[in-house]
Structure 1
Amino acid sequence: MKVAPENFSGYLEVQGRVDFDQNATVGARAAGTLTSVRVQRGDQVRKGQVLATVDASILDANIAELRTRLDLARIVYQKQAGLWKQQIGTEIQYLQAKNTYEGLERNLATQQQQRNLYNVVAPYAGVVDNVLPKLGETVSPGMPVVQLNSGQGGKVLADVSEAYAGSIKAGDKAIVSLPDLGKEEIESTVRTVSRTISATSRTFTVELRLPADKANRLRPNMVASVRIQNYGSSNTTVLPVDLVQHDEQNAYVLIVARQGGKPVAQKRVIKTGQTYNGKQEVTGGLKPGDEVISAGYQNLNEGQLLKVS
């Protein structure tokens, strides 16, 4: 085969997984018995929609009592304010009525905020993937209730060995394939590279974004095969890795040389670079136009006469 310059790329192959920016399990915010589940798997929900409710009967009774006291305090305050305008009564009586009324107002607002915690609310619009507890079960703060996926912001995450921390950067080209969606190879780029190395796995996480028409087909936790380009060279010599032989000191190939006008095998020491996918980059020792012997080279000796077809 004749040597001709070409482009060479090396890739790091890792396994990835699909995730979404808005893919979360919405949990309960208060303890109690689940009194209603208002959605089911596959339902489309809007942001702020109540998905389920937790028993708040005791708190509701407290709020009702507080409203009654607040109504009375409002009447007393209004009457006392009217009397004070007419210079009837003392200022202390007026201020006490005002303070009681405003204090109950603040108390009611606090109770209503606490009451809202008994509703499981959608933090964003999306589709219900799963409803975890059943009606009547007891839940506690933080306990998962509804798994909600917005379908937006689909991405692929991959954990990369810390050995490549210096060679992977944001903007690197990548190729992603998803076995569940066929063998199609999708061109992508590295969007972000984590600066934190996991203490347990000794890896860091990279994030890749896919084109919108491809991201729409993703599902959470799909397995992805990721190839990140961590090396590239243009106008370089590339040979099948099998053609490169080694002795005790050097790597070499056999090329076609002319001796007395006849073709003979000649040993040519070379300098090698990166290797990927069965191809070897050659950084020195060969020039364009050299003919590398690619058939029967295992049985040839230097200087042996060749039959060139």
Structure 2
Amino acid sequence: MKTTKVPVTMMRAATLLCLAVILCTCGRAQEESVPQTSEELQEALRTRRAELRELTMEVESLESRLAEIDPNFAPNATLVSYETVGTASFDNYAEVQATVRAAESAMATSEIPGRILRMNFEAGDNIRKGQLVAVLDVEGTETQRAELETAASLAKTVYERQEKLWEQNIGSELQYLQAKNNYERIQQQLKAIDIQANKRNVYAPLSGTVDQVFLRTGEAAAPGTPILSIISTSDLQVVADAPESLLTKVKVGEKVGVRVPALGVEFKAPVTRIGRTVDPANRTFEVEVDVPRQYINELKANLLAEVEVLNFQADDLIVVSQDYIQQEVNGQRYVFVAEEVDGDLVARKTYVETGQSFNNRAVIESGLDVGARLITNGARGLTDGQPIALSQSPLQPTEAKLSSNNG
């Protein structure tokens, strides 16, 4: 009985069509959560690539089993996709951990000792400069004033009598001066007591939001002890501790990327201040970035953030996706390129040396030339010299460069 051999191209096309249907079905099932941010899009791309690799391996396994059962389906060559190697620009960013902080902060403190009789604010309350924060018990001061008033009354009587005697040339001048000095000294003490009594009220030194309350009603406050802390939420800063290796990379006025993972907020803003000292404990220096006005209401003080600092930038480099780079047990890295041998296309294993990498992209320093046909999909599982068939929709150099620039 005569059997008909199914063309390899038709079999591959049918396989890829089934693969596309499966991927589209998965895509429709996840339409409810469409990625929006750059981070979400990159994560979705990595997930889809992983799914594609798994499905490709399943297809290859099925093809092998089918070829064992029916030799008519044995493929003559493995169908792969490729892109033509070109040059592209490459940016490498260093990610530095940071914190969102208030531009201004202050403590409301007591100037005199005393027990807190009343607290007017709690954490999170809005507060204006000059508002009454707390009232202290100054009972001891009032007792001292009562005693001084009694002493002042006696001193005044003695002084007035000595003054009259002195006017009548009775008594000594020394007695008169002592009485006068004693009366004036007690008056000064009364004024000092009044000043102390006026300090029973503690006022807000800054407008903003109450961040923390340290003392409560009934607790004792000592001079200089903070009662509550206030932060100004009208201006926020992102403060990062950058390693000293970035000292030459960070400059005032240059824009850096800022990301707040908890809120999914991303923006670019110029560096406003660079610390003049390096922390000897962790070898870092401070980098400050003012938060743009449109994000002030979204962000909160003490949120964790990430700052991206441009660490390396160059043009006309060979840059490829790290998904296409494979690694041997000994650590050597390699890729597969399509090469023509005696009129047939084969996969050629090519060892490469990689340089800097960022965002799933790596710089190829040696081993790969411009114009080479780099095998992309289908490279996993290939062997050196294995016959291949190229997809009819390769990624052209212009498209490859755009893909590299978009990360």
Same fold (TM over 0.5): yes
| 1:7–1:232 CA contact under 8 A, matched in 2 | no
Matches within 5 A, 1:77-88: none
Secondary structure class of the residue paired with 1:242:
helix
When residues 166 and 57 of structure 1 are mapped into structure 2, their CA distance, relative to the original with a 3 A threshold, is same
The alignment's C-alpha RMSD in Å is: 4.1
Instruction: Return the index of the structure with the highest Cα Rg.
Output: 2
Partner of 1:4: 86
2:298 equivalent to 1:217:
yes
Distance 1:121 1:255 in 2: 74
Once the two structures are aligned, what percentage of the paired residues are identical?
Answer: 29
Partner AA of 2:236 in structure 1: G
1:1-309 to 2 correspondences below 5 Å: 1-13=83-95, 15-39=97-121, 43-63=125-145, 66=148, 103=185, 107-108=189-190, 110-115=192-197, 117-129=199-211, 131=213, 133-141=215-223, 143-159=225-241, 164-167=243-246, 169-171=250-252, 173-179=256-262, 181=263, 183-190=264-271, 191-193=273-275, 195-198=278-281, 206-222=287-303, 224-235=304-315, 236-246=317-327, 248=330, 250-260=332-342, 262-308=344-390, 309=392
1:2/1:68 Cα in 2 relative to 1: closer, same or farther (>3 Å)? farther
Mapped contact 1:177–1:186 kept (Cα < 8 A):
no
- Corresponding residue SS for 1:4: coil
SS in structure 1 opposite 2:362? Answer: strand
Deviations 1:66-100 (A, max 9, x none): 57877976x969x97xx99xxxx998788767765
3-state SS of paired residue (1:198): coil
Change in 2 beyond 3 A, CA 1:301/1:56 = same
Distance (Å, rounded) in 2 between the aligned partners of 1:44 and 1:67: 42
> Secondary structure at 1:220's aligned position in 2?
coil
Residue deviations 1:168-215 (CA, integer Å, cap 9, x gap): 535462321241x3x23222455435611436xx76654443212212
Q: Gapped runs of 5+ residues in structure 1?
A: none
The C-alpha deviation readout for 1:211-235, integer Å capped at 9, x for no partner, is 122123322333x241422523232
* 8 Å CA contact 2:257, 2:266 repeated in 1: no
TM-score after normalising by structure 1: 0.72
Q: Secondary structure at the match of 2:323?
A: helix
Q: Which runs of 5 or more structure 2 residues have no equivalent in the other structure?
A: 1-82, 393-407
User: 1:56: how far off?
Assistant: 1.0
Quick one: distance in 1 between partners of 2:331 and 2:231? 59
SS at match of 1:153: strand
Structure (1 or 2) with the greater helix fraction: 2
Amino acid at match of 1:195: V
Matched pairs, number: 296
The alpha-carbon deviation at position 299 of structure 1 amounts to: 3.1
Cα separation, partners in 2 of 1:94 and 1:7, compared to 1, 3 Å = farther
Q: TM-score with structure 2 length normalisation?
A: 0.57
Instruction: State the secondary structure of the residue aligned to 1:166.
Output: helix
